[in-house]
Structure 1
């Protein structure tokens, strides 16, 4: 992301990052041989899911705690196309927030090391199955935030 869309806090820990590497498949391209724009949400989701699993805040963790994390905002900035059979890396950074939300920024880097796409997402937290909006993070997420703030979470992992 050219500019971090999220508010930064002076005492906040540094963002947690994770990346995954993929290759553009035939089913992902349009008639021009470039990735169809509608595929990018799934690319962001690939790394979001991997990051969540890595740090103990994956979908199964949320389900187990009866918390839903629906998408509230999703933004993309397309800079260069990806082509059929091109390798690329998707990087996500989780940004600190004490609110009941998940703030992520994303970058997609092609095999030449060029930034092709950037974006961000915001997920809110709901009590499930009541679907009431949580105003503070649930206990399991508060425990995660505490570990993060105390530097008990390893960073910079790549799948």
Structure 2
């Protein structure tokens, strides 16, 4: 039996403000693209940034890897897939950015976030139950790939 994973897909267009003078997406904007995809996945499971705040935790990025394969260019339609690959110890996500028309893979990335208690500023070495429970409830509803 395959392990269930939560996945979300979004599409966006590379805009003028995303590119450098060569009309190629500036490398620093890929983190912004990852954030947009991550927010869509978190909304999907019911744990967006407002819910994080209400639950008393912040989730700083503690590790980030980006593999640039092909450039994103001005006006290109991009399909971004984000998958939650770990949710008990940390929030680890994998990303794949593709040309929306051809499906060609442009970029692969991973981000890891760790929960921090907003009151004590202590890092947690396991994800808080409020987050884990949201993920497990979503998985139980078979809304996954």
TM-score (structure 1 length as normaliser): 0.83
1:102 aligned to 2:91?
Answer: yes
Runs (4 or more) in structure 1 with deviation over 6 Å come to none
What residue number does 1:142 align with? Answer: 132
Residue 96 of structure 1, CA deviation: 3.3
Residue 146 of structure 1, CA deviation: 3.1
- 1:12 & 1:121 partners in 2: Cα distance? 23
Q: Residues 12 and 79 of structure 2 are in contact (CA less than 8 Å); yes or no, is this contact kept in structure 1?
A: yes
Residue 94 of structure 1, CA deviation: 0.2
1:50 aligned to 2:32?
Answer: no
Structure 1 unpaired stretches of 5+: 1-10
What residue number does 1:83 align with? Answer: 73
The equivalences for 1:125-140 within 5 A come to 125-140=115-130
- 2:94 & 2:108 partners in 1: Cα distance? 8
Helix, strand or coil: the match of 1:133?
coil
Structure 2 unpaired stretches of 5+: none
1:73 corresponds to which of 63, 78, 97: 63
| RMSD between aligned residues | 1.8
- 2:108 & 2:20 partners in 1: Cα distance? 20
Q: How many residues align?
A: 144
Helix, strand or coil: the match of 1:136?
coil
Task: Kindly provide the CA deviation profile for residues 11-46 of structure 1, in whole angstroms up to 9, marking residues without a partner as x.
Answer: 984221001100011111111111111110000000
What residue number does 2:7 align with? Answer: 17
What residue number does 2:143 align with? Answer: 154
